[in-house]
Chain A
Amino acid sequence: MTERFVVAIDQGTTSTRCIVFDRRGNLVSVAQREHRQHFPRPGWVEHDAMEIWRNVGKVVPRALNQAGLSIDQIAAIGIANQRETTVVWDRRTGVPVAPALIWQDTRTDLVVEALSRASGAEHIQELCGLPLTTYFSGPKLRWLLDHIPGLAERAERGEVLFGTMESWLIWNLTGGPDGGLHLTDVTNASRTMLMDLRTLDWHPRLLSFFGVPAAMLPQIRSSSEVYGTATAVLPGVRIAAALGDQQAALFGQTCFDPGEAKCTYGTGSFLLLNTGTEPVPSRHGLLTTVGYRIGDEPALYALEGSIAITGSLVQWFRDRLELISTAPEIETLARTVDDNGGCYIVPAFSGLFAPHWRSEARGTIVGLTSYITKGHLARAVLEATGWQTREVVDAMNADSGLELTALRVDGGMTANNLLMQFVADVLAVPVVRPMAAETVSLGAAYAAGLAVEYWPDLEGLRSNWHPAARWVPEMDAAVRTRERENWRRAVERTFDWIRPEEDPARR
């Protein structure tokens, strides 16, 4: 019998990756392609959904070729995707009616303001687990319905379809206008603000609050089940999993038990804690979200600390300030100095996410003196990721009543040793990277492989997890306390910067 493999498609914010995994969960091949980021106005961030779909068609064959595999050796496809990003397309032509609105996009701040004063606003978070902010799909969809002429009527008539990236890809993979399946999974649906966290179904009260016609919504399915068979890209292969990228990483880190948590360091960083089969409301600025659901089993819930800007601050340092030519060089530059020289960068580029949720905040650099070099700035960039992690860990500890004893990490930034040491230092707990930095893809592969019985059970997956690196705290407690206080003061200085009537985006 020829060996079989599972394909994961990781449709991320900056790129689309295809990774092939073998039975032991080892990476066999990887192909990646970046797509364009459009910033038409301050605060606006868009993608071309067509470009992303074309990229899927390029990276998947490339990954198979690289490993010399044929389609019949692929047991299943799993999809992980950038979450909340909102696509609306014509069901007859398959053409998107507008650019995709990215999760980082803040154009909906006025929509959100208006909605927060509408009647019923106070019950929204209780139902869907999320605070009313620009981050989620519901307000983005509302904005599109308001601003694209005729769209609301066409949506009522069911002529256009809404989806996050996994819906868009699955619809296209299964035939598009020709019988494409219009569905989403519980984790992605839990980021729309339209789903009832308990029933895992669209809630009429939420739909009417956001003015979203049910006719345009995908069917909500489990994260791990066979949805259908692909007719494009990998014809004949079963599509057997879809999860939001952060939930996929939780799964890939095999955080299957309540109390297990991970933090993924990519464009943004996201700490998720498995809280078991009941949704736990947060009193400290975290989100309540669905972790995953396997087949007919009960859903597992998670508390999430979302940090909008971490790796993208490094990208900004590289592409906008041009102080380095590749992201990893930030470590080399940061190591030219011993400390931050008193300088702090708070990257509130699209407001502050968890635990503050201040959409009017904007980024700041404080503590500048003539002593500061680009090396200090590089340190401040990396330290910003460390301190933001500390803030969400504090919130997590307060909400769960438990003390985190070690942090599991993954994502591109975990290749940065200086950063990982700093995270361990400011959290005062060990930081552990497992033997698979691409945990997002691994989680999507695991979920798909389970659904088609490529892997028998969760225990088998858990035995694949091994630490690849471990950083232990070395920072002096007094230094930690002092720096924590400085960070807190720096964060305060970002508050109340944007006033709605003054927002340059709408002049």
Chain B
Amino acid sequence: MPGQVQSIARAAAILRLLASSSGRLGIGEIARSLNLPKGTAHGIIRTLQDVGFVEQDKTSGKYQLGATLLHLGTSYLDVNELRSRSINWADPLAARSGEAVRIGTLLDGKVLVVHHVFRPDDILQTLDVGSLLPPHATALGKVLLAYDVGAANAVTQREPEPYTRRTLVTARALTRALSEIRDNGWGAEIGEMTPGEAGIAAPIRGYGGLVVGAIGLSGPVDRTCDGSGNPRPALVTYVRDAARAVSRDLGATRW
């Protein structure tokens, strides 16, 4: 057939084979069934595994369909739905913390602002929903990168722009920061985008724990950080509680 991509057709065949099999299949069984060289079958399986369509059993080394495949339609969250589902929790976060709140997702290597709640001080502010922020210099962005290896690699390879003297620009510094975020479950940025400004963010998880966005606050360092220059623990707790509440609602039934 002209124009057919052979490896995609073979990948589809492998998925069908796994779907119709009652148990898990080993690489040899798959290759024999489809009359493929073992190396070719292995290459395709590895890619399918990377995107989550196939899972390998740790003990037997055999393959089965991945959970992602079963929820293909539901695991991807529409950004407007993310806003609708988080609006009730973003408001109290702004009210309690006294700072502006934003929710972001990754879009083409940038942070897309999906939702924005003004700082509750009645000073005129401008809605910046739809604007793009640098992922390596914002708390939202670093949290999103921490859970997206592909996006993180892309950012470190592109020589991130230094906004201030504190911006993380080396692969080593960024990688360490992201690993710390994964360990703590939240992240911060202190003067890395604008001197004197700081941000705190935590991941929003959807079905199966997939990180679908991040929620965070930002404000002047003297309000958001304590005397020793660390994010105020109370604010960190507010942010994490809000992230957990949204995540819990996202795991509930769709509407």
| A residues apposed to B, CB below 8 Å | 24-28, 30, 325-332, 412, 414-417, 435-438, 466-471
Judging by beta carbons under 8 Å apart, are A468 and B118 in contact? Answer: yes
**14 A–B contacts, CB within 8 A, in A order:** A27-B91, A325-B254, A326-B78, A327-B255, A328-B83, A331-B80, A332-B79, A415-B83, A415-B87, A417-B80, A437-B88, A466-B121, A468-B94, A471-B127
Judging by beta carbons under 8 Å apart, are B87 and A437 in contact? Answer: yes
Please name 12 further chain A to chain B contacts, defined as beta carbons within 8 Å, in addition to the given A26-B91, A326-B78, A435-B117, sorted by A numbering: A24-B95, A27-B91, A326-B84, A326-B254, A327-B255, A328-B81, A332-B78, A435-B91, A435-B118, A466-B120, A468-B91, A469-B118
Within 8 Å CB of B205, what residues of A? none
Within 8 Å CB of B79, what residues of A? 332
- Which residue on B lies nearest to A30, using beta carbons? B88
Interface size of B by CB at 8 A reads 29
Within 8 Å CB of B255, what residues of A? 326-327
* Cβ < 8 Å to A, chain B residues 114-168: 116-118, 120-122, 124-127, 129-130
Judging by beta carbons under 8 Å apart, are A466 and B92 in contact? Answer: no
Minimum Cβ distance to chain B for residue A446 (Å): 15
Within 8 Å CB of B122, what residues of A? 466-467
Complex: A326 Cα to B96 Cα, angstroms: 30
Can you list, as one digit per residue, whether each of B68-104 has a CB less than 8 Å from chain A (1) or not (0)? Answer: 0000000000111101110111011011100000000
Judging by beta carbons under 8 Å apart, are A27 and B127 in contact? Answer: no
Complex: A436 Cα to B87 Cα, angstroms: 9
Q: Is the interface of A mostly helix, strand, loop or mixed?
A: mixed
Complex: A30 Cα to B129 Cα, angstroms: 26
Q: Which of A412, A467, A468, A471 contacts B84 (CB 8 A)?
A: A412
Within 8 Å CB of B83, what residues of A? 328, 415, 417
Within 8 Å CB of B96, what residues of A? 24, 26
Within 8 Å CB of A331, what residues of B? 80
Within 8 Å CB of B117, what residues of A? 435, 468-469
Minimum Cβ distance to chain B for residue A36 (Å): 15
Within 8 Å CB of A415, what residues of B? 80, 83-84, 87
Minimum Cβ distance to chain B for residue A347 (Å): 21
Within 8 Å CB of B116, what residues of A? 469
Minimum Cβ distance to chain B for residue A15 (Å): 9
Complex: A416 Cα to B127 Cα, angstroms: 13
| B residues apposed to A, CB below 8 Å | 78-81, 83-85, 87-89, 91-92, 94-96, 116-118, 120-122, 124-127, 129-130, 254-255
Minimum Cβ distance to chain B for residue A435 (Å): 5
Within 8 Å CB of A412, what residues of B? 84
Minimum Cβ distance to chain A for residue B129 (Å): 5
Minimum Cβ distance to chain B for residue A46 (Å): 22
Minimum Cβ distance to chain B for residue A380 (Å): 17
Complex: A149 Cα to B79 Cα, angstroms: 53
- Which residue on B lies nearest to A466, using beta carbons? B120
- Which residue on A lies nearest to B74, using beta carbons? A325
Complex: A329 Cα to B96 Cα, angstroms: 30
Complex: A416 Cα to B88 Cα, angstroms: 14
Complex: A207 Cα to B118 Cα, angstroms: 50
Contact of A435 with B80 at beta-carbon distance under 8 Å, contacts A467-B122, A469-B118 already known = no
Contact of A437 with B91 at beta-carbon distance under 8 Å, contacts A466-B118, A467-B118, A467-B122 already known = yes
- Which residue on A lies nearest to B81, using beta carbons? A328
Contact of A27 with B92 at beta-carbon distance under 8 Å, contacts A326-B81, A326-B254, A437-B87 already known = yes
Minimum Cβ distance to chain B for residue A368 (Å): 26
Minimum Cβ distance to chain A for residue B245 (Å): 8
Within 8 Å CB of B126, what residues of A? 470
Q: Which of A26, A30, A329, A417 contacts B81 (CB 8 A)?
A: A329
Complex: A438 Cα to B90 Cα, angstroms: 12
Minimum Cβ distance to chain B for residue A458 (Å): 18
Within 8 Å CB of A325, what residues of B? 254
Complex: A319 Cα to B42 Cα, angstroms: 44
Minimum Cβ distance to chain B for residue A63 (Å): 12
Within 8 Å CB of B78, what residues of A? 326, 328-329, 332
Contact of A416 with B95 at beta-carbon distance under 8 Å, contacts A438-B88, A471-B127 already known = no
Within 8 Å CB of B91, what residues of A? 26-27, 435-437, 468
